[in-house]
Amino acid sequence: MIVIPAIDIKQGRCVRLLQGRMDAETVFSDNPAAMALQWEGLGAQRLHVVDLDGAISKEPVHFGVVRAILEAVSLPIQIGGGIRDMETIARYVDAGVDRVIIGTEAIRNPALVREAARRYPGRIVIGIDARNGKVAIEGWTHTTQTSAIDLAKSFEDCGIAAIHFTDIHRDGMQTGPNIEETRKLAEAVSIPIIASGGVSTIQDIENLLPLEAFGVVGVITGKALYTGTLDLRDAIRLTANRPSGS
């Protein structure tokens, strides 16, 4: 399991939100590229970047900021937020983004996901953000009647790289990840799962480690790293030292 620092971009700055609410932000840096460089220096193996304004605007807003991050670090970058068509996916891939995360369109236009996975094998990720088990879309502003598990199962055979699963009620709250719902999703599909939402301390990382056996391959964390309740080096050391098969 790898630990993936999150860089959420709003109005060009690195922020964290509470439960995805755009009016409940904390600004941690005016320079997202500098934050990316900091996480790389501390040993991160991958970075999770989200264009929050893009998610609301339904198209990328901070492509220039993403490009600056790509130029600053040599780590693989995954990007989400406002990705609604093949042209946007191609633009990010051509710019050097390693993985592109599709959220809303996995519900609205599943054919796009399948075509993107065919065109860019191993580089398409589905972002499943759930509120009480139901998928939320449009920057978390609308909750559908589709369950997270049903949506994940519908893409079982199309070759996507991973599913990012976020429990919205936990996101930014530092109340601990939703272990049970993450485990249920991982058990339901063969697609690798990356957990997100609620990580606060090294104990939360410890609690997630047993889910490796069910296919949870990573965990995204943001606010805990920025506020200092979780040390990235400690978290990486914990996951790296875990005995194989345990």
Catalytic residue among 8, 51, 98, 171: 8
One CATH from 3.40.50.2300, 3.30.300.30, 3.20.20.70, 3.30.70.1280 for 2-239: 3.20.20.70
Q: Residue 8 catalytic?
A: yes
Q: Are 17 and 24 in contact (CB under 8 A)?
A: yes
The 10s digit of each residue's pLDDT in 195-227 is 988 898 999 999 999 999 999 999 999 889 988
Given a cut of 50, is residue 19 above it in pLDDT? no
The 10s digit of each residue's pLDDT in 68-96 is 999 999 999 999 998 999 999 999 999 99
Catalytic residue among 51, 53, 98, 129: 129
At position 113, the amino acid (one-letter code) is: V
Q: What is the pTM of this model?
A: 0.89
φ, ψ of residue 4 in degrees (nearest 5): -115, 110
Distances (CA, A) of 86 to 90, 109, 111, 124, 187: 6, 11, 11, 11, 30
Positive or negative, the CA dihedral 200, 204, 209, 215 is negative
Q: Residue 129 catalytic?
A: yes
Q: Are 54 and 62 in contact (CB under 8 A)?
A: yes
